[in-house]
């Protein structure tokens, strides 16, 4: 009975989190320490590298995933691993990354968008 909540939550699959999956494979990989230092630094680098139409969906999917997992490190790490992450985040890194992605969403587009 408790398998299906009254409001359905998206399943944690690469199909439901496609841009987060791409981000995780590109930034949260085995060499994250060598390339970026820490996962929050990797997220920061992504926000600098990506343009708005890349940043926004990743940041939104991150927020959605942290809500689904209630920001619990074990649950979130399991979900991230399922989506392609090779990194285990600790309790301090999760809110740091969430803050970075919140800032990503708040950033004004750097490039001129014709239709906004």
Confidence of residue 107 (pLDDT cuts 50, 70, 90): confident
> Is residue 43 included in any domain, yes or no?
yes
* CA distance from start to end of the chain: 45
Q: Tell me the per-residue pLDDT of 59-77, one tens digit each, with 9 for 90 and over.
A: 999 999 999 999 899 999 9
Give the DSSP letter of residue 63.
H
Q: Tell me the per-residue pLDDT of 5-16, one tens digit each, with 9 for 90 and over.
A: 445 678 999 999
> Is residue 95 included in any domain, yes or no?
yes
> Is residue 70 included in any domain, yes or no?
yes
> Is residue 116 included in any domain, yes or no?
no
> Is residue 111 included in any domain, yes or no?
no
Q: Tell me the per-residue pLDDT of 12-52, one tens digit each, with 9 for 90 and over.
A: 999 999 999 999 999 999 999 999 999 999 999 999 999 98
The domain in which residue 102 lies consists of 20-106
Query: What does each C-alpha distance from 40 to 5, 28, 43, 61, 94 come to in angstroms?
Result: 32, 10, 5, 16, 8
> Is residue 102 included in any domain, yes or no?
yes
> Is residue 3 included in any domain, yes or no?
no
Domain total in the chain: 1
Q: Tell me the per-residue pLDDT of 77-103, one tens digit each, with 9 for 90 and over.
A: 999 999 999 999 999 999 999 999 999
> Is residue 25 included in any domain, yes or no?
yes
Contact assessment for residue 65 and residue 24, using Cβ atoms and an 8 Å cutoff: no
Contact assessment for residue 84 and residue 15, using Cβ atoms and an 8 Å cutoff: no
């Amino acid at each position: 009975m408790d398998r299906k909540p009254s409001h359905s939550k998206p399943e944690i699959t690469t199909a439901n989190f496609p841009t987060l999956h791409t981000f995780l494979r590109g930034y949260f990989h085995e060499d994250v320490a060598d390339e970026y230092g820490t996962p929050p630094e990797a997220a920061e680098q992504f926000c600098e590298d990506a343009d708005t139409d890349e940043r926004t969906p990743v940041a939104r999917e991150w927020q959605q995933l942290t809500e689904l997992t209630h920001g619990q490190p074990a649950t979130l790490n399991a979900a991230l691993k399922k989506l392609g992450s090779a990194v285990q985040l600790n309790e301090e890194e999760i809110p740091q990354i969430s803050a970075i992605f919140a800032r990503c969403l708040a950033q004004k587009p750097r490039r001129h968008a014709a239709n906004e």
